[in-house]
Amino acid sequence: MKVVLFCGGRGTRIRDYSDSIPKPMIPLGHQPILRHVMQWYSDYGHDEFVLCLGYKANVIKDFFLNTRPQTFSDCIVTHGGQDVKLLGDAVKDWSITLLDTGIWRNIGERLWAAQDHVKNEKMFLANYSDGLTNVDLDDMIAKFEASGKIGCFLAVRAPLTYHLADIAEDGRVREFRTTETSEIWINGGYFVFRPEIFDYMRDGEELVIEPFRRLIDDNMLMAYKHEGFWRSMDTLRDWQSLEDMVEKGDMPWNRKITAEKIRRSMVMAAS
């Protein structure tokens, strides 16, 4: 299944990086968040990517044109770097389409620009490229396919630290509660679509405003609620939180690392 990734963001709220590189290229550990997202899809077997580029598109193009497989793999180097042998599992051969969709286009316009690359697909995936999750993608796709609907988005709890006040019209406070106990759900930026989504789009429209409104009116939009891990990288504080997780080896979105942690805990419990 093809994966459309929106890579045109500037990341203006992450000042340390946004002036020099596009938001999807901000590093987490030794690789950009974009590659973390792509690896997550690849772990589920989806290796065809369509990247909708915008701000500093040349930086992303240069990354994929000049990065060699051994950059992210264990390897043995001999003859002064002339011979490189990769260790472990073979590196997957990703297909990456790089589309310059313009600097100031919104998400809806970027998806429209990628229409020709997904119009013949039964379904396709899409992502904001700035968030990570451990949602079961196979289950999300299966439930969407069975629904017969045209669009699906990942619904997650709002990551707010505020206390929510339930206030009566006369000013009386009925209740204080945390976001964890509320029914506030937000768009997590992970989508599954059928090509019919383009019938609901109009020139210049933002994806989740007018087109989603039309889907809702026709009962063609579903939400996949996820109570597990999800974290977006909107601010410098978000980036630091994710960077700390990477440094500690606590990466719920990495299926390989998660599986290894489970295996080790089972071995320790049995010993």
pLDDT tens digits, 193-235? 999 999 999 999 999 999 999 999 999 999 999 999 999 998 8
Strands 185-193 and 151-157: antiparallel
pLDDT per residue rounded down to tens, the chain (271 residues): 999 999 987 766 675 665 678 899 999 998 999 999 999 999 999 999 999 999 999 999 999 998 876 666 677 888 777 777 777 666 678 999 999 999 889 999 999 999 999 999 999 999 999 999 999 999 999 999 999 999 999 999 887 667 788 898 999 998 887 766 667 899 999 999 999 999 999 999 999 999 999 999 999 999 999 999 999 998 888 999 999 999 999 999 998 888 877 777 777 777 7
168/162 Cα distance (integer angstroms): 19
Residue-level pLDDT at 184:
84
Helix, strand or coil for residue 26?
coil
Contacts of 4 (CB under 8 A, 6+ apart): 49, 50, 52, 111, 114, 117, 118, 124, 125, 126, 127
Nearest-10 crossing angle of helices 255-270, 33-43: 70
Residue-level pLDDT at 216:
98
Full-model pTM: 0.87
Residue-level pLDDT at 11:
62
pLDDT tens digits, 71-80? 666 778 887 7
Strands 124-127 and 95-100: unpaired
Contacts of 241 (CB under 8 A, 6+ apart): 231
Residue-level pLDDT at 88:
66
3/191 Cα distance (integer angstroms): 10
Residue-level pLDDT at 181:
66
Residue-level pLDDT at 24:
93
Residue 84: how many CB atoms within 10 A of its CB?
Answer: 14
Residue 124: how many CB atoms within 10 A of its CB?
Answer: 24
Segments of the chain assigned E as strands: 2-7, 27-28, 31-32, 48-53, 75-78, 83-86, 95-100, 124-127, 131-133, 151-157, 163-167, 173-178, 185-193, 221-226, 230-232
